[in-house]
Amino acid sequence: MTANGQKFTIIFLHGWTMNGSAFDQQIELLGDDYECYAPDLPGHGNSAHLEASIDKSADLLCDLINDNGLDDVLLVGWSMGAAIAWNYLRRFGSAKVAGL
């Protein structure tokens, strides 16, 4: 928990040909003190019908952050997920990101 009682927020971004469930064990081990998200990125898992690209994935990340009113998120990117996190920061800035 943060100093003001809020949960830490972590967004996990998977690699190419994977999906958000790749982080299920990490999310389980983190427990209730963390608010975790592990979306299926465009072209993968439940989002396989969407066009896969780094830009489209960064757009999805931006929407996830904004639609859920998230601030001070920690982005955790694995392989392609790291490229998506960097793309997000380049395009949308770091105002809502606490770390990468």
**Residue 17 or 7, more confident:** 17
- pLDDT recorded at residue 6: 76
pLDDT, position 7: 87
Phi, psi (5° rounding) for residue 59?
A: -60, -45
Structure tokens at 97: 């990101």
What confidence tens digit (pLDDT) does each residue in 58-97 have? Answer: 999 999 999 999 999 999 999 999 999 999 999 999 999 9
Count of H helices and E strands in the chain? Answer: 3, 4
Confidence of residue 3 (pLDDT cuts 50, 70, 90): low
Question: What is the signed CA dihedral for 65, 71, 76, 80, rounded to 10 degrees?
Answer: 30
Q: Taking Cα atoms as reference points, which of 96, 93, 77, 98 lies closest to residue 20?
A: 77
pLDDT(1) > 90: no
pTM, to two decimals: 0.94
